[in-house]
């Protein structure tokens, strides 16, 4: 239907008029001007997103009351500067241990400049900051590791000058900035230092006196290596193109010294590290990178395991099974247990995960929650999250908090690790998307949003075990809803001929059980496409909508669906906008960072050493939108990120050429410096404007 993001409804047809002399000519309505659309986008882009929250230590007033500070970080688009900016805001929370007595903001917002990572120490008295500093003149950008106390900066260490490693990782896939329990050391992940390389024909200024070789001195360790200048270095794919060989690094704060940890097997890439109990060593996740690296972002099916490396002897010990995919380890407040998430290797990139727990002292691993095959209405849906919250343990070191897809929304659950029982903390709250930001001393901080409501900041006190349903959420930072948007969740039953013989419906989405996830591989291009078409037809039957003005907008797999729909059901759709769409699985398999996805979704086995045979390539082509390009009539707008490693832009170009050759109205927007998400400020703003104008033009709103 007419673009829902535009202000106001589509104009109704003009009613007949009785002519009266003198008859004034009727002026046809014109679509909103680009200026109006840009003003709308400018207004909507000012809504900030909430990313981080950290609770300070409890303090006591002179009257005996307890309070603590809440530090939050937000992001916002700055259209004038064409960049995303970060800012912080602080709040005060007064509580009595059982409920929140008062909460409110403290001071105004303040922009955060050049901070890559930050982390408060366990006591809350120190803060570590990784900061980037622009180089002077022709110098490269530098990285500094700073330590602040409550009054001043007490340390500033130039990591670039020390030259112990490459750039520090600030991503949430490998990266960490972890304080030791003693607060004397900091742990982080960085790129391994590479030897300097130069041309075979690099000229050097002659040196006076005898050479090192003449005097018998050994060659300097950092002397450039010839022949290595153009060696290819594998990376970890989409958004991780500068990540190749991570190493664990430790900063001795008092001694101002950095050491790169040894003892980690060479076939592993370490990350997500933290200090073991009593600071005897480091616990980390290790990803196998043999025979070659695959894309890791949003891929929770890569072979990995939990390890411990001893700081004194350098011994590396396996803590989990080594035939699974594990991530997101979290140490309990009493330092006795580690919970982590676990998936099967390969298969769908995101699955219903298991929650596992390792006992540090008994060395015993238990399964707290198994994958849920089929979600029963009102029951726990299973775990479908990219990561556990950084702080997820309750004060009792028994319960943990997590957020997960729950059918068509996202809810917060508490899990008792001793019994495996679960309870919803948001079941009686408004429908929408709930995310846990942190929990500390049973003070819980969360984010809530809906399709019509920007992110809001919520706080609560976690009730005692067994009483979690009594959780009382308090809004710390409200956000008015965007006017003119209504939404709801509908449950539809597919037609009998579209039922899956083995699995349940809706099929392929997270939040409905593992069977739903497992139903899609081998059925892409049919099951998922027919499900969407059924929804469109049902809504058109039940709502007062103009069936002659239906458009499609989708990205990635959503773009795959959109391109399928305009080819398989050309009479339904009048316009289409796709962002980095999968168009031809057969041609994508050799260029993407996730070739396993191409075969898995086509229902074929994946092996790193196997090449697709002609029959497999035919099957992938058969399930691709390009198969139906001869039937497309709707005008198509394509938006492509030049640096997309997940769905390379040649996919969209292939579709563009096929449409042009068949006389279909099409336009292609090419965004340099943007990857799969097209999340750059300029690209996002330009994409919004072009999408809105395209829909207005071809839907004739």
Q: Which residues are catalytic?
A: 556, 644, 676
Q: For residue 541, what are the CA distances in angstroms to 527, 671, 700?
A: 21, 38, 22
* Burial label, 454 (beta-carbon count in 10 A; 0-12, 13-18, 19+): middle
Please enumerate in sequence order all residues whose Cβ is within 8 A of that of 671, keeping only pairs 6 or more positions apart, or say none. Answer: 639, 640, 641, 642, 678, 680, 682, 683, 686, 687
189, 34, 196, 52: which is closest to 112 by C-alpha? 52
d(CA 254, CA 240): 33
Is residue 309 within 8 A of residue 288, CB to CB? The reply is no
* Closest alpha carbon to 301 in 623, 652, 601, 658: 601
Pick from 174, 196, 192, 344: which is nearest to 272 by CA? 174
CB 219 within 8 A of CB 212: yes
Helix 527-542 × helix 557-568 angle, to 10°: 70
Residue labelled with tokens 């679509």: 31
Q: How far apart are CA 45 and CA 685, in angstroms?
A: 9
Neighbouring-strand partners of residue 73: 52, 88
Q: How many CB atoms lie within 10 A of CB 112?
A: 15
How many whole angstroms separate alpha carbon 349 and alpha carbon 395?
33
Q: How many angstroms separate the CA atoms of 239 and 299, rounded? A: 12
CA distances from 656 to 91, 570, 635, 640, 688 (A): 51, 17, 11, 11, 20
Query: Starting from the edge strand earliest in sequence, which strands make up the sheet with 115-120, in order?
Result: 115-120, 127-133, 142-148, 153-158
Helix (H, G, I), strand (E, B) or coil at 251: strand
DSSP classification of residue 242 = T
Smallest Cα–Cα separation from 626: which of 662, 666, 658? Answer: 658
CB 121 within 8 A of CB 127: yes
Place of tokens 């009593």: 278
Element (H, E) at 16: none
Going by their DSSP bridges, the two strands 225-226 and 197-198 should be labelled as: parallel
Structure tokens belonging to residue 425: 């903390």
**639-675 burial, b for 16+ CB within 10 Å, e for fewer?**
bbbebbbbbbbebbebbbebbeeeebebebbebeebb
Give the span between the Cα atoms of 630 and 628, in whole angstroms. Answer: 6
- Between helix 681-699 and helix 34-44 the angle, nearest 10°, is 130
CA distances 500 to 130, 253, 366, 503, 525, Å, are 51, 59, 34, 6, 14
Question: How many distinct helices (H) and strands (E) make up the chain?
Answer: 11, 34
């Amino acid at each position: 239907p007419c673009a829902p993001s535009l202000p106001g409804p589509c104009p109704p047809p003009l009613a007949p008029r009785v002519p009266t002399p003198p008859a004034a000519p009727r002026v046809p309505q014109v679509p909103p001007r680009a200026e109006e659309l840009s003003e709308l986008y400018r207004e909507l882009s000012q809504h900030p997103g909430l990313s981080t929250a950290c609770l300070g230590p409890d303090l006591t007033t002179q009257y005996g009351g307890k309070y603590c500070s809440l530090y939050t970080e937000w992001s916002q688009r700055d259209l004038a500067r064409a960049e995303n900016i970060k800012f912080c805001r602080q709040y005060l929370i007064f509580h009595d241990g059982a409920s929140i007595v008062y909460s409110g903001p403290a001071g105004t917002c303040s922009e955060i400049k050049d901070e890559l990572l930050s982390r408060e120490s366990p006591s809350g008295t120190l803060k570590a900051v990784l900061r980037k500093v622009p180089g002077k003149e022709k110098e490269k950008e530098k990285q500094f590791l700073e330590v602040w106390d409550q009054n001043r900066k007490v340390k500033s260490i130039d990591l670039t000058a020390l030259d112990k490693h490459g750039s520090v990782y600030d991503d949430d896939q490998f990266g960490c900035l972890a304080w030791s329990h003693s607060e004397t050391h900091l742990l982080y992940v960085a790129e391994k230092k590479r030897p300097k390389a130069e041309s075979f024909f690099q000229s050097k200024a002659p040196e006076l006196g005898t050479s090192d070789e003449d005097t018998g001195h050994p060659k300097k360790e950092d002397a450039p290596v010839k022949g290595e200048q153009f060696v290819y270095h594998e990376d970890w794919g989409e958004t991780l193109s500068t990540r190749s060989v991570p190493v664990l690094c430790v900063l001795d704060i008092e001694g101002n010294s950095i050491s790169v940890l040894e003892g980690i097997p060479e076939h592993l890439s370490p990350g997500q590290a933290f200090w073991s109990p009593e600071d005897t060593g480091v616990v980390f996740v290790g990803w196998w990178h043999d025979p070659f690296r695959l894309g890791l972002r949003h891929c929770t099916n890569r072979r990995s395991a939990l390890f411990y490396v001893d700081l004194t002897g350098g011994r590396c010990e396996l803590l989990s099974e080594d035939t699974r995919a594990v991530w997101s380890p979290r140490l309990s407040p009493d330092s006795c247990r580690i919970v982590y998430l676990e998936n099967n290797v390969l298969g769908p990139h995101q699955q219903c995960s298991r929650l596992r727990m390792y006992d540090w002292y008994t060395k015993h691993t238990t399964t707290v929650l198994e994958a849920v095959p089929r979600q029963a209405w009102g029951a726990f849906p299973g775990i479908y999250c990219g990561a556990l919250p950084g702080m997820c343990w309750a004060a009792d070191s028994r319960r943990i908090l997590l957020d997960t897809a729950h059918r068509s929304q996202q809810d917060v659950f508490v899990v008792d690790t001793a019994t495996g029982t679960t309870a919803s903390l948001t079941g009686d709250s408004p429908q929408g998307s709930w995310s846990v930001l942190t929990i500390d001393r049973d003070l819980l901080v969360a984010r809530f949003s809906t399709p019509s409501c920007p992110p809001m900041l919520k706080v609560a006190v976690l009730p005692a075990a067994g009483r979690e349903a009594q959780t009382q959420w308090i809004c710390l930072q409200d956000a008015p809803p965007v006017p003119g948007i209504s939404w709801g969740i509908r449950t539809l039953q597919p037609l009998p001929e579209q039922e899956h013989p083995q699995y349940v419906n809706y099929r392929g989405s997270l939040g409905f059980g593992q069977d739903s996830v497992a139903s899609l591989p081998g059925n892409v291009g049919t099951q998922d496409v027919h499900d969407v078409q059924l929804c469109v037809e049902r809504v058109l039957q039940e709502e007062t909508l103009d069936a002659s003005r239906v458009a499609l907008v989708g990205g990635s797999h959503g773009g795959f669906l959109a391109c399928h729909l305009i080819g398989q059901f050309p009479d339904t759709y009048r316009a289409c906008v796709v962002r980095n769409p999968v168009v031809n699985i057969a041609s994508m398999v050799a260029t993407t960072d996730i070739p396993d996805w191409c075969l898995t979704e086509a229902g074929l086995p994946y092996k790193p050493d196997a090449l697709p045979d002609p029959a497999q390539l035919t099957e992938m082509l058969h399930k691709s939108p390009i198969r139906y390009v001869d039937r497309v009539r709707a005008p198509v707008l394509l938006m492509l990120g030049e640096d997309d490693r997940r769905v390379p832009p040649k996919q969209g170009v292939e579709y563009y050429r096929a449409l042009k050759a068949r006389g279909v109205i099409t336009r292609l927007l090419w965004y340099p410096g943007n990857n799969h998400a097209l999340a750059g400020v300029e690209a996002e703003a330009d994409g919004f404007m072009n999408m809105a104008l395209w829909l207005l033009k071809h839907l004739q709103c």
